[in-house]
Amino acid sequence: MKALVNGSVWTGGNPGVRSEAIGISGERIVAVGTSADVVEGMGPGVEVMDLEKRFVSAGFQDAHVHPADGGMQRMQCDLSGCTSAKEALAAIAAYVAGHPEVEFVQGGGWLYPWFEGGNPEAHALDAVTGGVPTYLTVADGHSGWANQAALRLAGIKSSTPDPSDGRIVRNEDGSPQGTLHEGAMALVERIVPSPSPDELREGLLAGQSALFEVGVTSWQDAWVNAEIHELYRSLAISGELRASVRGALWWDRERGLEQLDDLIELSREGHERYDPRTIKLMLDGVCENHTAAMLDPYTDRAGRPTDNSGLDFIDPQDLPAIVTAIDAAGLQCHFHALGDRAVRNALDAIEAARYANGPTDLRHHIAHLQVVHPDDVSRFGSLGVTANLQPLWACADEAVTELTLPFLQEPQRIHQYPFAALARRTNIAMGSDWPVSSPDVMAQVAVAATRAVSEETLEEAFLPDQKLDYATSLKAFTSGSAYVNHLDHETGVIAPGFRADLVILDQDPFGLAWTGGIAVDMTLVGGEIVHHRDLATN
């Protein structure tokens, strides 16, 4: 038994109401109150931990994350710490020099704004890779950067047609330039060596550790294929999976409803720590490469409408039947939708399922929501759909100012990331989409509350009427995400009977102008410490 005392315990409600202590027996919270009352109630032999007035919250939950990808990227050519093309190319050169045994360089983490038009070129990679085939994905996972050696291995040349769901960026003579968007990525990825089972296992465990470091104790994995599914089951059975995970099984857009029976079978292979009863449906791409599905066409730099309105990865005519069948099977839908057309398509499909099947408690949710038409905002609440938000994106960074705003029509520019409007009408959850973005929860809360890029740019808020307060943002990362993960009966708040999944911070976020510098001192899962910051070195 443990008693965490002398703290500032936010139980998940009014931020002005705090407790001092938490009593833990086994994996559960058994008492919340004053230090004296909790210690006395726990009886003799209780282990007492002095929190030294530090802030305590229920463990954070990430509603949209890719831990295996994040962990694997850290083991490969990781560009996530770079800030420019120059730094990225230097990091690639250093990786190649330091890993002469690698026969095919893999990794990612580059950003569109580092390169003209968001499209890095093969010849730049050629200069630093020495002919070793190289393929690096952009941070958001929607584009790939290949050198000439990789393009040759993949057989991509001037005569190679664009796939229906993607685009090969080309030089003026029609030859491949080095960047591949969306479905075109598969042309190279089919020849990229797959990680071994041991490497994938190491990557997922590294991802779990990284999430514990930022206080995340539960998550929804937003892209679970059969291999990742089996790995989660194995780690859950062995006890190495300490977190609680909701797995979103991948809907293959190249197949139809015939795949549902296979997914239903996988969904039944859960565990106490791993619940795969969600289906992930990717409806469109991203605004930065003009593949997010929009109601109005993208413009050129002069503001003239083009003939491109983005891509529908699943035919909108087929989507209602697909979602109705998934809903009837008792499975949750997790949609990827950035453009306003994709968002509307998702809502229309959920509405069709509701009409056909009646109301359910499956808690369907739509992630990303970059552009949402005002007519659709209220539909989230009426249909019981959770808005799954990625707050780090809701600021005027270069991805917005250089690659998005110049190419959107005027109404769509002001309909981006309508967090406050959605929060007034429906449950909101939050997720990092790591390794697309940092998994640091307090950095995400900072942007959600300020709509600013940094503490130094607080006066330059992006669509400031859509700011959220800290309490709303923290609830989205605790009880809001617990709800969408179907874990709200035992996690998401601090209360007797709930699991002792806790995060201890070095500062109290409430009242601060910017929470981005707050550190996680300790993370507990089921009352056991899974991360402890070394204060001597921080």
Torsions phi, psi for 512 (to 5 deg): -80, 150
Residue 297: inside a domain: yes
Measured in Å, how far apart are the chain's first and last C-alpha atoms?
29
Mean of the pLDDT values across residues 365-372? 99
Is the pLDDT at 353 greater than 60? The verdict is yes
Q: Which three-class secondary structure state does DSSP give residue 182?
A: strand
- Do 451 and 518 share a domain, yes or no? no
The pLDDT confidence band at residue 142, using thresholds 50, 70 and 90, is confident
Residue 222: inside a domain: no
CATH code of the domain covering residue 114: 3.10.310.70
The encoded tokens of residue 347 equal: 């809502």
Mean of the pLDDT values across residues 458-471? 97
- Do 310 and 342 share a domain, yes or no? yes
Answer yes or no: are the C-beta atoms of 151 and 122 closer than 8 Å. yes
Residue 262: inside a domain: no
- Do 19 and 109 share a domain, yes or no? no
- Do 400 and 451 share a domain, yes or no? yes
Answer yes or no: are the C-beta atoms of 232 and 247 closer than 8 Å. yes
Per residue in 262-296, pLDDT tens?
999 999 999 999 999 999 999 999 999 999 999 99
- Do 126 and 40 share a domain, yes or no? no
pLDDT score for 535: 55
| Percent of the chain predicted with pLDDT > 70 | 99
Q: Residue 109: how many CB atoms within 10 A of its CB?
A: 22
- Cα three-residue angle 294-315-354, rounded to 5 degrees: 90
Residue 214: inside a domain: no
pLDDT score for 503: 99
Residue 48: inside a domain: yes
The pLDDT confidence band at residue 538, using thresholds 50, 70 and 90, is very low
Overall number of domains in the chain: 3
State how far the alpha carbon of 466 is from the alpha carbons of 186, 261, 384, 393, in Å: 37, 41, 21, 13
- Do 391 and 458 share a domain, yes or no? yes
| Residue 156 to residue 488: CA distance in whole angstroms | 49
pLDDT score for 441: 99
pTM exceeding the 0.85 threshold for the entire prediction: yes
- Do 294 and 414 share a domain, yes or no? yes
Ramachandran quadrant class, 6 (left: phi over 0; alpha: psi -120 to 50; beta: rest): left
- Do 44 and 138 share a domain, yes or no? no
Answer yes or no: are the C-beta atoms of 368 and 404 closer than 8 Å. no
The encoded tokens of residue 126 equal: 């050629």
Residue 169: inside a domain: yes
- Do 88 and 34 share a domain, yes or no? no
pLDDT score for 165: 87
Per residue in 163-199, pLDDT tens?
988 999 999 999 999 999 999 999 999 999 999 999 9
The pLDDT confidence band at residue 534, using thresholds 50, 70 and 90, is confident
Is the pLDDT at 536 greater than 50? The verdict is no
Measured torsion, CA atoms of residues 495, 497, 500, 503, in degrees rounded to the nearest 10: -20
| Residue 266 to residue 229: CA distance in whole angstroms | 8
Closest CA to 375 of 334, 416, 344, 419: 344
Torsions phi, psi for 375 (to 5 deg): -65, -20
State how far the alpha carbon of 316 is from the alpha carbons of 36, 177, 319, 368, in Å: 60, 32, 5, 18
pLDDT score for 537: 37
- Do 371 and 302 share a domain, yes or no? yes
- Do 132 and 44 share a domain, yes or no? no
| Cis ω for the linkage preceding 435 (within 30 of 0) | yes
pLDDT score for 511: 86
Helix or strand run (H / E) with residue 280: strand 274-282
Closest CA to 246 of 226, 227, 271: 271
CATH code of the domain covering residue 20: 2.30.40.10
CATH code of the domain covering residue 391: 3.20.20.140
- Do 44 and 97 share a domain, yes or no? no
Residue 416: inside a domain: yes
Residue 19: inside a domain: yes
Which residue range forms the structural domain that includes residue 317? 283-424+438-464
